[in-house]
Chain A
Amino acid sequence: MKSPILEDLITLTEHHRAACKPYSNYCDTINPIRKRPESLADIPFLPVRAFKDFDLLSVTDSEVFKIMMSSGTSGARSRIYVDRETAQLQTRTLTAIFGETFGKIRSPMLVIDRAATVNDRNHFSARTAAVNGFSIMAHDRCFALDDDMTLNLPRIIEFIEKHNGKRIFVFGFTFLIWQHFCNSLCAENLKLPLENSFLLHGGGWKKLESEKVSNTQFKETITALTGCNDIRNYYGMVEQTGTIFIECTEGLLHASAWSDVLARDIQTHEPLPHGKVGLLEVFSTIQKSYPGHALLTEDVGVTRDASACNCGHRGTIVEVHGRLPAAEVRGCSDAYN
């Protein structure tokens, strides 16, 4: 089936070819024969790491409104150049996707992170972007963790009591929620009164891959500790801020109206049909200021047709299995390890 966003992606490809010289030179080298794309697979893709290695803009420097960066814990960081138009589109799509899932009322937000994540200007990361991005959906904000990443229970209780009767929006990165929220509550044998709340988490397990638990176990643990039973995961990246894939009531991640996803064979990069495990390529229609509309990620997973889910959402389903392991190439370069 033809992707509903194919035409938009074709237009974006032409836009970036005209506006971003390195991108057009790359496309002309990799896809020298230019024909009109007939499917998502025909859109030239860029490895997502390109944004770590190169400064890619389709606007002039003076039009750059903000630069977003990915976490820099292990090596280089992505630098995403956003103009006013793209920034507005990011907010608008995120608000729409969020509203579709949780309703349009702005809720008080309990962030499972520390305030320094958004306050420390020297450490802008994917977490900064995510916390600030989702804060737009909230009206009051409380950080659950202190600077040393310990849970500040008095502050949390005070916040919950202050908003007694209101639905609370709990947000955090998956591994932080598990490590610093669930584990701390378990260790102290405490339960929080968050029955009237919904929880959104994303970002995967990062360095806690070995401690990874299933989505079901994650949800059950949180429900047991807080009473919260509307727990949703999302899949997204700083390179495509705004167009996140969000978990539906059936527990599946769907593309939004502004995004789509394709799996490519890990060995050949050939496009795969739904249900086959491959490298995930994500598409988004809102990147006007940088060529980030068709990105080959280093995430491994499968796609499924929306009809495979009973929730009624029309967006392609994605299941993310994990990350591609680092290269173990042979040869004598890079010798001392």
Chain B
Amino acid sequence: MPIIDAQNFENGEWREGFEFNAAASFADEISVEFLNALSRAILTDKEARLYPDLATFGYFCRKANILRAVADIPSSGSRFGWGTIVHIAPGNIPLNFAFSFVMGFLAGNSNIVRLPSRYFPQIARCVALIDQLIANSSFASLAKRLRFVQSDRDSSELDGLVAAGAGVVVWGGDATVKRFRALPKAPRCVEVYFPDRVSSLLVDAAGYLAFSEDESKLIARRFFNDTFLVDQNACSSPTTVFWLGETDKIVRAQNLFWSRLAPILNADYAIDPMARINRHLDIFRDVVSLGRALKLSTDYDVWRLEDPAVLGLPLRFGTFLELSLTKLTQILDYLRPNEQTITTLGIAPEVVFKELYATGRPPGVDRIVPVGSALEMSFNWDGKELLSILSRRVHIS
């Protein structure tokens, strides 16, 4: 079924053939086969190749990845979906809706997914490929478990679905989370929220300097993908860069790191003109908040601050706070209350985890991943095991 636009969403005809609050077994065979077929359809589709994010989603859906995630969940044989999950996808990460859908679908639910209002060609292609598969008779029975819709903001029709559904999955913005938390819901409604988070990059200066020239160029591209590819506006995009090591090594590492990024920015990135103005206004807000001037470096058109007082303030549009550490555990003094991801460079995520979480005061960070993987979606997100939360486990004794 094609995307139901805001107007057709309101008239409700889309409900025909949709089994509201129907549930299936957790990761039943047809669902796994469907996702695997979708993976193949995406990865062999010519148009889909134009969109790296759609290809990434295609890989995510392949059988091996799905079965690994299912195996991670205890008692998968005695789990079932809750009913209908209403997904509120973020407005400007195009493929996020698809990941959210897979979580709800694989867990055994029927799914109403609210898509961004803005047009993204990769969303249109993804939904078209899903529709083609559903039209295939072996998957026809799945049509009753999914609808992709658009709606106006504050649509009462949408709010009505939230009130009647078995669950909601709301992808942030704190304001969006606040709005949907406040809506009336069924007493047993399962609610999953992803509010605003912030993230950091941790660089071990000596470890970074040990990379070859080719490797350091590749690293710059990975950092670019984590950050500038989404205008530094994703929750997982680093805004703070921690440099670990001796001062002279840190200075050398910083110079190398930012100079390697420069040609990529020159070739592949243009900050939105309004965002460029906003960057000035952010600095104005910073100096008003702190009541003093700040030291700002603007080399390579990357804006870098070094005063930890800006930690709670928004850092965006290519603005970073750089802090030096002589010991890894010093990072604990700087991590923000809503810190989500630490991407690491020149130091392994496991090493960082072991040192930071063995201190007796584990940080609130939910992800530690290598540079380049900041935006990589997983079944465990923001500390939440989604397949587990979105399914009910029957207790048998």
Contacts and interface: CB of A to CB of B under 8 A. Distances in A.
Nearest to B285: A53
Contacts of A334: 91-92, 173, 175
Contacts of B286: 29
Given A331-B231, A331-B232, A334-B92, A326 B274 contact: yes
A50 interface: yes
A266 B292 contact: no
Interface in B294-312: 294-296, 301
B203 interface: no
Nearest to A269: B276
Given A333-B233, A337-B153, A47 B277 contact: yes
Of listed A267, A329, A330, A332, residue having the most chain B CB within 10 A: A332
A187 interface: no
A331 B93 contact: yes
A32 B294 CA distance: 9
A314 to B, nearest CB: 31
A47 B118 contact: no
Nearest to A331: B233
A332 B172 contact: yes
B272 A30 contact: no
Given A21-B291, A25-B292, A335 B91 contact: yes
A335 B92 contact: yes
Of listed A26, A32, A269, A326, residue having the most chain B CB within 10 A: A26
B287 A22 contact: yes
Nearest to B237: A331
B233 A25 contact: no
B88 A336 contact: yes
A324 B288 contact: no
Nearest to B94: A330
B21 interface: no
Interface string B162-196: 00000000011101100100000000000000001
Contacts of B196: 333
B238 interface: no
Contacts of B291: 21, 25
A22 B288 contact: yes
A298 interface: yes
Contact of A335 (B90, B232, B237): B90
B296 A32 contact: yes
A54 B276 contact: no
A327 interface: yes
Contacts of B234: 330-333
B56 interface: no
A140 interface: no
A165 interface: no
A332 B90 contact: yes
Nearest to B197: A332
Contacts of B175: 334, 336
Interface string A222-264: 0000000000000000000000000000000000000000000
- Chain B: interface residue count, which band? 35 or more
B288 A335 contact: no
Of listed A46, A328, A334, residue having the most chain B CB within 10 A: A334
- Chain A: interface residue count, which band? 35 or more
Interface in A27-46: 28-30, 32, 46
Contacts of B117: 337
Interface string A288-311: 000000001010000000000000
Given A330-B231, A336-B91, A337-B91, A325 B280 contact: no
Of listed A50, A267, A268, A327, residue having the most chain B CB within 10 A: A327
Contacts of B273: 266-267, 279, 324, 327
Contacts of B172: 332-333, 335
A46 B280 CA distance: 8
B171 A49 contact: no
A132 to B, nearest CB: 29
Contact of B272 (A46, A327, A336): A327
A28 B293 contact: yes
B230 interface: yes
Nearest to A328: B272
Interface string A135-172: 00000000000000000000000000000000000000
A302 B343 CA distance: 44
B281 interface: yes
A26 B284 contact: yes
B257 to A, nearest CB: 22
B293 A298 contact: no
A211 B317 CA distance: 33
Interface string B216-243: 0000000000000111111101000000
B281 A330 contact: no
B4 to A, nearest CB: 17
B146 interface: no
Nearest to B276: A269
B81 interface: no
Contacts of B396: none
B275 interface: yes
Contact of A332 (B235, B275, B277): B235
B372 interface: no
A54 B291 CA distance: 13
Contacts of A332: 90, 92-93, 96, 171-173, 230, 233-235
Contacts of A26: 283-284, 287, 293
Given A22-B287, A29-B287, A329 B294 contact: no
Contact of A50 (B93, B235, B281, B301): B281
By Cβ-Cβ distance, the 6 closest A-B pairs, closest first, are A331-B233, A335-B90, A28-B293, A327-B274, A336-B176, A25-B287
Given A26-B287, A328-B272, A331-B230, 16 more contacts: A21-B291, A29-B293, A29-B295, A32-B295, A47-B280, A50-B284, A266-B273, A324-B274, A329-B317, A331-B93, A332-B93, A334-B173, A335-B91, A335-B92, A335-B172, A336-B179
13 contacts: A22-B288, A25-B288, A29-B294, A29-B296, A30-B296, A32-B296, A47-B280, A268-B301, A328-B92, A329-B92, A331-B237, A332-B90, A332-B96
Interface of A: 21-22, 24-26, 28-30, 32, 46-47, 49-50, 53-54, 266-269, 279, 296, 298, 324-337
